[in-house]
Amino acid sequence: MDQWLANYPDTVSHEFEIPYISIPQMLEETVENYGDKEAISFYGKSISYRQLYGMTIAFASALQKKGVQKGDRVAIMLPNCPQYPAAYYGALKAGAIITQVNPMLVERELDYILNDSGAETIVVYDALYPRVKAVSAGTALKRIITVSLQEEMTPAEGDFTFSQFLSFSTGEVLPVQIEPEHDIAVLQYTGGTTGRSKGAMLTHRNLIANIYQSFEFFKHEVQTGSERCLTVIPLFHVFGMTSCMNLTVLRGNSMILLPRFDLEEVMQTIKREQPTIFPGVPTMYVAITNHPKAEEYGISSIRICNSGSAPMPVELLNEFERKTGAKILEGYGLSEAAPTTHCNPPFAKRKPGSVGIGVPGTAYKIVDVATGKEEVPAGKLGEVILKGPQVMKGYWNMPEETANTLRDGWLFTGDIAKVDEEGYLYIVDRKKDLIIASGYNVYPRDIEEVLYEHEAVQEAVVIGVPDPYRGETVKAFVVLKAGRQASDEEIIAFCRSNLAAYKVPAMIEFRSELPKTSVGKILRRALREETLQR
């Protein structure tokens, strides 16, 4: 099933040598070549690569001074801010393993990740410090380092502010031997949308491979040393880590960091900073597209948007591109693959609704859902499985889960998909989001695409709810655009004229907003649980 390779021009390699280096070595090469270039822009403050490297070395040295050894886990629980890359690259320079922690986690979830990873050090945003203190006694934590974005908070005795911690640095880092292929760089906890969070073990090589795969794929689009990447996707998220931070560092470009997606602040930042690249998720593009004065903010500076993390409704893609002139390239990836495996190519035809073709060095096929052993023909639905140098080593301390997900060298994604005759991949749904109504397979994505086409709908998500007759039936949650109205009968009638009868929602519930993850992905599971509890 290699027909998709025909889409590659001679100037973009599908197979190439991945440098055998660690993440800190990648940063060091950039500092050598682009030391005086801006690495970070944060609320008007500019930090060069040389300055970032100074912070990185200070953090690595301080960690070693405080007893951190190779393989120890350092947790980072921060919004996007300059201390994030400094702690990330610094901990890796000291030979530690990063444990990525979502700042939105509640105590119970935080306790689980800290205990599962065995982290002994955490770098935490000061507003979340009480949450860490509340669970710290039951964990292996020995060092708590706080980061303040405004006035510096003084933590309890025995804990440190970021600047206090850096003062332990001797300016020297003891050399640590890193084997990129074997040594874990990051424990990337999967969102836990499937129950207990699993720590995907991403080695230095997994990360380097994915950064270089992305670099090769976009090499004719993305310049070196002159691009400005709007980084509002959280860096603790695998998409933000690779597509915003690490890829920007490889190319000697600048990250415009924002700690959260606040629409007005994002628009003002675009106006002031004129970013050229904007990796985002569909909900971000929805918000910008629906801003009444979007064009007045100079959003036309943005040339490339790679959309990931959730399916991009076609209607939305068209509208965003009309307003910005940018090219949205929808891609696909998962924590277990560091994350990128597919993207619509900038060098060949783009197919809205598809997540494109495999990035260099990635093999994939569609297999039957029941056994995972039979490859299915083009156009038929099955589970997408893939292999490549970016695929994780396994799940941290979960041998059974690892054996279930990694089989014969293939990563089983749990996503239902199909490929067309040219090898373009179409993700239809998560295996577990499938609705089975009267024996028919109903894919929420099909219905959501139609709902987004309704002129009054801003956001929509579909779930299956128990039904005594059909087994399951379809329910849609809808957020209307500001100032627009629509009744449930009207929405159902619209669906009826655009969908097979068995796919038409039986129930519509209007909401002022939908629950979302920290990245802006709509939380289908939360709505399902809430519905079942009623």
Asked if residue 364 belongs to a domain, the reply is yes
Asked if residue 340 belongs to a domain, the reply is yes
Give the total number of structural domains in the chain.
3
Claim to verify: residue 418 and residue 290 sit in the same structural domain: yes
| Owning domain of residue 42 | 23-177
Residues 6+ apart with CB under 8 A from 392: 200, 201, 202, 203, 206, 335, 336, 337, 338, 406, 411
Do residues 198 and 396 lie in contact, with contact meaning Cβ atoms separated by under 8 Å?
Answer: yes
Q: Note every long-range contact of 269-273, with CB atoms under 8 Å and residues 24 or more positions apart, other chains counting.
A: 269/230, 270/230, 270/297, 270/298, 270/299, 270/301, 270/302, 271/297, 271/298, 273/41, 273/228, 273/230
Distance from the first to the final alpha carbon of the chain: 46
pLDDT < 70: residue spans in the chain: 1, 191-195, 310
Domain boundary among 430, 455, 480: 430
Claim to verify: residue 390 and residue 272 sit in the same structural domain: yes
Claim to verify: residue 207 and residue 281 sit in the same structural domain: yes
Claim to verify: residue 321 and residue 441 sit in the same structural domain: no
Q: What local confidence, expressed as pLDDT, does residue 101 receive?
A: 95
For residue range 210-243, list pLDDT tens digits in order: 999 999 999 999 999 999 999 999 999 999 999 9
Asked if residue 446 belongs to a domain, the reply is yes
Asked if residue 97 belongs to a domain, the reply is yes
Q: What local confidence, expressed as pLDDT, does residue 192 receive?
A: 44
Claim to verify: residue 346 and residue 274 sit in the same structural domain: yes
CATH number, domain of 83, equals 3.40.50.980
CATH number, domain of 479, equals 3.30.300.30
Claim to verify: residue 286 and residue 235 sit in the same structural domain: yes
CATH number, domain of 379, equals 3.40.50.12780
- Predicted TM-score (pTM) of the model is 0.87
Claim to verify: residue 516 and residue 400 sit in the same structural domain: no
From CA 419, how far away is CA 381, in angstroms rounded?
8
∠385-234-414 over CA atoms, to 5°? 20
Domain boundary among 376, 403, 430: 430
Asked if residue 188 belongs to a domain, the reply is no
Which residue type, as a one-letter code, is found at position 435?
Answer: I
Retrieve residue 356's tokens.
């494109």
Claim to verify: residue 262 and residue 375 sit in the same structural domain: yes
Asked if residue 231 belongs to a domain, the reply is yes
Claim to verify: residue 389 and residue 518 sit in the same structural domain: no
Claim to verify: residue 235 and residue 314 sit in the same structural domain: yes
Task: Supply the angle between the helices 23-34 and 83-93 in degrees, to the nearest 10.
Answer: 120
Retrieve residue 181's tokens.
């292929």
Domain boundary among 378, 413, 430: 430
From CA 342, how far away is CA 330, in angstroms rounded?
9
Asked if residue 191 belongs to a domain, the reply is no
Asked if residue 185 belongs to a domain, the reply is no
Claim to verify: residue 233 and residue 167 sit in the same structural domain: no
Element (H or E) spanning 499, and its range?
A: none
